[in-house]
Amino acid sequence: MVRVVSLILFLALSACAGGGTKFQAYSGPEVTQIYISKERRKLYLLHDAEVLKSYEIGLGFNPVGHKVAKGDGRTPEGLYLIDRRNPNSSYYLSLGISYPNRADVARSKELGVDPGGDIFIHGESSKPVNGKDWTAGCIAVKDKEMEEIYAMVRNGTPIYITSY
pLDDT reported for residue 19: 55
- Phi/psi at 112 (nearest 5 deg)? 75, 30
Residue 13 has pLDDT above 80, yes or no: no
* The pLDDT of residue 23 is above 50: yes
Contacts of 9 (CB under 8 A, 6+ apart): none
* DSSP 8-state assignment for residue 60: B
* Average model confidence (pLDDT) across the chain: 90
Does 91 have pLDDT greater than 60? yes
Instruction: Give per-residue pLDDT as tens, 122-158.
Output: 999 888 787 889 999 999 999 999 999 999 999 999 9
- The pLDDT assigned to 4 comes to 40
Please tell me what DSSP assigns to residue 14. Answer: H
The region that residue 116 occupies, defined by phi over 0 for left and psi between -120 and 50 for alpha, beta otherwise, is: left
Cα 56 versus chain centre, distance: 12
Domain boundaries, the chain: 27-162
Distance CA 29, CA 41 (A): 24
Local structure of 33: helix, strand or coil = strand
Indicate the CATH number for domain 27-162. Answer: 2.40.440.10
